[in-house]
Structure 1
């Protein structure tokens, strides 16, 4: 898919329309060369890229947020987008040279909730359906799997600091190495049969480890076991001391019963507390999963499926099979973290009722014993013994919980090891290295053409701090020089597009780049020739005065902006 046009409108009024063409598309400022008072900064060059990204499922906040300070919003811009109900329309086209090639119209606005517009080809979509449809445009049937659509296209859209300055680290700063592993194995066409399962296992391991860390906040399992052994000795000593009290048979029996009641209350209270902690963790994990997946509108999905079936031949799966697959996937995603809840809730309720009964029994028995002789002397001993029993119950429950967590972790890690044994087998390793080698053919060729240097990608099996095996991808200069990061990034993106086409891997055929004034004019000129030759669309923002003379030509411009004519034309629209 290529970019055909980007339209900004308010109601029936078109505020701005940007038409893209093949090859190099420059977003420049139109500052007069002899004007020393005006600059080409802050006219909306980056905003054009952010608007395209917004239409492709990105966050709208980047349109009205200061790129230098992510917490500082441009209130005027945000208010304008909402008050004037600004609609952004992006048209993608399969082939710009063919008038009748497939087109996709994406429309979004910045309004919340019931006023939100989120359409593809005229169909209003939920957030989940919107992402599903975008995914199906690029990679049919991949929705719900990892990596996500936004992760797959992250290297095509570079206007945020992280992606501008890093060749491979194109996601947010909180992305884990195992997520990058999944992303690049997918991008390089290395089929991973258990990729989703590995991500699920890693999620379960993090959940169990979090629970274990909470349980071991004060002491480790071995410390609890040692303390329990010492407690048993103390309880035995105090019990012998209690047996030497010269009490009548009835009082001895009552004290024994009270002691058992207090011990049971301690054990039940401790058990309820641990169960409630477990329930809270499961609910938190469930909420986290459900926040990423909205309910599917089967009516809308059926319409999309029917439309796709009419426009495409060879679709083998029925709508019912699609729904069954989706429902099964959704159930499996959520089932893990919620399957214990009914049993937990019932257990908590039952034990709470038991606790109330035990407390009533304790109160009645205590009242009865209080009227016995020699109670003061015995009460002090019983208080000490009771405290020991309370701690014993708490320690035993904690140890049982830790044993269960350790067992779960062992099970998950064994399954993870089985999957990793396949991923890191010689056979699969050869596939990964082979695919990277094919990519490097393009990478080194493009970098040699542009810079006279050979860039390459390497992949190394590594073990992270948690002892988990991963494939780590990294770029380097085969000449072992410092190289040029901007050039390396561009060469990677071009090389990947050519590699993906050769391997039949679906990919977007446009690249968005910001701040190209950081690149030397000669390289930019070479890029213009290269993307035209390779059939790749390169959209870049750049200050006009940094353009080499050969590129200062209308045929390369997608849009020219200025202090008097900024991209959103806020002043002119508000003045009407």
Structure 2
């Protein structure tokens, strides 16, 4: 997809700004007037407006990203004019078959900015469930959950520090290797998107399970708990023997027998309670998983499955909506059954806890009675110690059981993870071929622009495929980084053209003025010879000596008297 035109109109549909994009190099020129500054005239604002039209945050237009300072002039402009941003994109600038218009209208609700989204295809409004998911389908012919559209698009609009200092890892520093794997595989033509979705969901479940295990083992590991249990069992054995050997007056034999019976009942009840708590815990997890299986707004995964079945089965008569309804009906039945099961467990638990309370009270009363005899104080103490150790035994057994069951679940997840990873590996041939195609352009451009041959590669780690840019000579400087990023993005446009991949055919990059003028000229020449668009803001003074050669590439000239929003 190519950028065709950006139009900004006020609430009365009066034109505020219209920018027509060109094929090849697109220059956003910043002019200084009588020694005036080129700051705050809106050179980067155009990039932010494009990004906003593609699902970005409206705040980027009026708020500083680093310090969160609000530009009150722009904020008031938005508030007073409630503008509409309209971005037109085409599959070809010369002979377009498809034209999309992405329209985002700003309005205020109290003091908060709100946005309404519309998309038109060849002037006909199209419906969508989720704006960014539809944009991903338009720009990448892909509706998978991961990577998201907003994880992909910053590679094509580089305006923030993360995007300008990193060729591949252009998102927030906290973005995981796992997320980047999906991004890079998707960018370079990985076709089995459902596998990436499954891997993504499994990674979340695995991470949650690992976190649960960390909590369970926070104080003691499994071996610690087993040793502690053996110690408690030995204590119980010794205390039981001492109590059994204790000679008690025959008139207290009945109380002793009753104590033993109560203790046996208490132990049985504790075991039942432990078992019920575990069943409730497992059933609650099942309930949560079932609830997550309901399809409300996000039907992408089921849609993919439906389309696949429909493709292979001509007799597929049910509509997708019927499939969703049937799926949800089955899930709701399962959910109702699970909730009822949890309710029954909780009722049984309440009954057992009530029984335990009565037995414990009775046990305590008998002990209190025996302790008053004086001669039975030692016997009473033994029973109290036995009770405490029995409770500790039950607690340790439950902890051990929880850890073992969680470890067993984790191992099952790891087996599934390895199977998915193996399936991904079987589909890497096309990625390897695509990387080879990409490197033929990237190596050529980097050599031309900087005299070094850079290339894209990846490392196959135990969990992810980690992509990186490499060369033969070590580190790059800041200016060099801008050149390499530009070479990478231009090479990517050539690459997607070669394999005919649905993808943005544009690259917008800020702060290229730090690049030497000779390299800028080479960069401009490459840009004008690709089937794509290279969009850059730059001050006139930087390119004054070569301006006449590229005057035709200017799409807008801004100054203190002609700022982007015309105020």
TM over 0.5: yes
Q: Please say if 1:48 is aligned against 2:46.
A: yes
State the partner residue of 1:566: 563
The one of 86, 93, 96 aligned to 1:89: 86
Q: Indicate the SS of the match to 2:438.
A: helix
- 8 Å contact from structure 1 (residues 509, 536) kept in 2: yes
Measured in 1, the distance between the counterparts of 2:323 and 2:490 equals 35
Q: CA deviation at 1:495?
A: 1.0
State the partner residue of 1:171: 171
- 8 Å contact from structure 1 (residues 283, 338) kept in 2: no
State the partner residue of 2:311: none
The one of 531, 537, 540 aligned to 1:535: 531
Q: Please say if 1:455 is aligned against 2:451.
A: no
State the partner residue of 2:6: 6
Q: Indicate the SS of the match to 1:473.
A: strand
The one of 512, 516, 520 aligned to 1:524: 520
Q: Indicate the SS of the match to 2:535.
A: strand
State the partner residue of 2:467: 473
Measured in 1, the distance between the counterparts of 2:169 and 2:335 equals 30
State the partner residue of 2:254: 250
Q: CA 1:481–1:130 in structure 2 vs 1: closer, same or farther (change >3 Å)?
A: closer
Query: Residues 15-34 of structure 1, C-alpha deviation per residue, up to 9 Å, x if partnerless?
Result: 222222222222232321x3
- 8 Å contact from structure 1 (residues 60, 110) kept in 2: no
Q: CA deviation at 1:145?
A: 3.7
Equivalent runs, 1:266-281 vs 2, <5 Å:
none
Equivalent runs, 1:326-345 vs 2, <5 Å:
none
Q: CA 1:257–1:346 in structure 2 vs 1: closer, same or farther (change >3 Å)?
A: same
Measured in 1, the distance between the counterparts of 2:466 and 2:333 equals 31
Q: CA deviation at 1:225?
A: 0.8
Measured in 1, the distance between the counterparts of 2:350 and 2:136 equals 48
Q: Indicate the SS of the match to 1:6.
A: strand
Larger-gyration structure (1/2)? 2
Q: Indicate the SS of the match to 1:232.
A: helix
The one of 53, 57, 60 aligned to 1:59: 57
**Number of aligned residue pairs:** 540
Equivalent runs, 1:388-467 vs 2, <5 Å:
388-424=389-425, 430-463=429-462
Q: Indicate the SS of the match to 1:39.
A: coil
Q: Please say if 1:213 is aligned against 2:214.
A: yes
Measured in 2, the distance between the counterparts of 1:332 and 1:446 equals 56
Q: Please say if 1:157 is aligned against 2:157.
A: yes
Equivalent runs, 1:184-263 vs 2, <5 Å:
184-192=184-192, 194-243=195-244, 244=246, 246=248, 248-260=252-264, 262-263=266-267
State the partner residue of 1:511: 507
13-22 vs 223-232, greater mean Cα deviation: 13-22
Q: CA 1:174–1:164 in structure 2 vs 1: closer, same or farther (change >3 Å)?
A: same
- 8 Å contact from structure 1 (residues 433, 459) kept in 2: no
Measured in 1, the distance between the counterparts of 2:439 and 2:242 equals 80
Query: Residues 354-381 of structure 1, C-alpha deviation per residue, up to 9 Å, x if partnerless?
Result: 2233224433553465445647544433
- 8 Å contact from structure 1 (residues 267, 397) kept in 2: no
Q: Please say if 1:20 is aligned against 2:21.
A: yes
Q: Structure 2-normalised TM-score?
A: 0.82
Measured in 1, the distance between the counterparts of 2:237 and 2:393 equals 12
213-222 vs 8-17, greater mean Cα deviation: 8-17
97-106 vs 380-389, greater mean Cα deviation: 97-106
Q: Indicate the SS of the match to 1:566.
A: coil
Q: Indicate the SS of the match to 2:467.
A: strand
Measured in 2, the distance between the counterparts of 1:176 and 1:330 equals 33
- 8 Å contact from structure 1 (residues 521, 548) kept in 2: no
Q: CA 1:337–1:544 in structure 2 vs 1: closer, same or farther (change >3 Å)?
A: farther
Q: Indicate the SS of the match to 1:534.
A: coil
Measured in 2, the distance between the counterparts of 1:223 and 1:81 equals 63
State the partner residue of 2:482: 486
Q: Please say if 1:31 is aligned against 2:32.
A: yes
- 8 Å contact from structure 1 (residues 286, 338) kept in 2: no
Q: Indicate the SS of the match to 2:528.
A: helix
- 8 Å contact from structure 1 (residues 117, 124) kept in 2: no
Measured in 1, the distance between the counterparts of 2:58 and 2:24 equals 27
Q: Indicate the SS of the match to 2:88.
A: strand
Q: Indicate the SS of the match to 1:150.
A: helix
Q: Indicate the SS of the match to 1:547.
A: helix
Query: Residues 304-331 of structure 1, C-alpha deviation per residue, up to 9 Å, x if partnerless?
Result: x9xxxxxxxxxx9999665578789999
**CA RMSD after TM alignment:** 4.0
Measured in 2, the distance between the counterparts of 1:554 and 1:22 equals 14
